[in-house]
Amino acid sequence: MALAVVSFSILTTYEFSLNISLNFYSALFFASVAGYNFVKYFGLTKFYYRSLTTKLKYIQLVSVLSLIGFGFVFFRLQPKSEFLFLILGVITFLYAIPMGVKMPHNLRSIGGVKIYIIALVWAMATVVLPVLESQQTLVADHWILVLQRTFFVIVLMLPFEIRDLDTDQLQLSTIPQKIGIPYTKIIGYAMLGDIILLEFFKLEFNQNRFLILVFSVALLATFLAKSTKNKSRYYTAFWVESVPILTLILGIVLSLIQKT
């Protein structure tokens, strides 16, 4: 997952020709690892901290090391990037932790918003953060990419929600729970079409960038089409999450071809 986030960020850097240091990518990677492990395993460690399995202890160790790595590079970033990192960190924290005594639920348990919170955090982390780190002013094309990235991550999450249709709590009100699998896929295809359409609203059209976008949309549409409740966890956790990485690889190949 962390590699997918970094891949998205590199694609943003490529699209807008941003000047980004290795410190930024390191911070984004470490924050993604620590944030994902916190959200995914906080409940388990909270209830079973006295008898943690070897796997959970290893995950805790990786998370602690990631936080140390993040702290090491955090203060080498631009102030605006640091501020946004902190905001996204608070959102991630509230995603897993109850928001207060009067509001005992976390953001994840609020019906129907989980997928949109994840998409927003990913979009801000992989588009707005790189732009701020490069000390550029946010313009219309950047916000169009934020919208494209938000749609893309929502569709990226749909195979997970389809897989977990029978195990997710009803209070989560996921899209497949509310409208069923066939209509969920239709919405996903519509969002992917919107991503392509939004590309034509940008001020500058780049052929390589468009080819990369079409490839990623077609690949994700294929994975969405093949998604079922009975798919292996590796189908989503490996193949679906690899879409940003595969897209980045294509971008690197096209860039090398263009240079030669």
Count of Cβ atoms closer than 10 Å to residue 79 Cβ:
9
The Cα 196–Cα 217 span in angstroms is 8
> For residue 223, which of 165, 155, 153 has the smallest C-alpha distance?
155
Q: Which range has the worst mean pLDDT, 107-111, 174-178, 234-238?
A: 107-111
The Cα 82–Cα 246 span in angstroms is 29
pLDDT in tens, 193-220: 999 999 999 998 888 899 999 999 999 9
Average pLDDT over residues 58-65: 87
The Cα 99–Cα 187 span in angstroms is 31
> Is residue 51's pLDDT more than 70?
no
Average pLDDT over residues 58-71: 90
The Cα 74–Cα 24 span in angstroms is 8
> For residue 67, which of 102, 15, 32 has the smallest C-alpha distance?
32
Percent of the chain surpassing pLDDT 90: 62
pLDDT at 45: 53
> Is residue 1's pLDDT more than 80?
yes
Query: Contact at 8 Å (CB) between 25 and 10?
Result: yes
- Binned at pLDDT 50, 70 and 90, residue 55 comes out as confident
- Binned at pLDDT 50, 70 and 90, residue 125 comes out as very high
The Cα 4–Cα 126 span in angstroms is 10
- What would the two tokens of residue 145 be? 């990419």
In the chain, which ranges are continuous DSSP H helix?
2-16, 22-48, 54-74, 79-96, 114-123, 129-133, 140-163, 175-179, 181-199, 207-225, 233-234, 243-259
pLDDT in tens, 87-109: 999 988 888 776 655 554 677 77
pLDDT at 68: 95
pLDDT in tens, 68-78: 999 999 999 99
> Is residue 62's pLDDT more than 80?
yes
112: left (phi over 0), alpha (psi -120 to 50) or beta: left
Residue whose entry in the numeric block shows the structure tokens 């009975």: 230
Percent of the chain surpassing pLDDT 70: 92
pLDDT, the chain, mean: 88
Average pLDDT over residues 15-36: 94
> pTM of this prediction?
0.91
> For residue 227, which of 194, 197, 195, 187 has the smallest C-alpha distance?
187
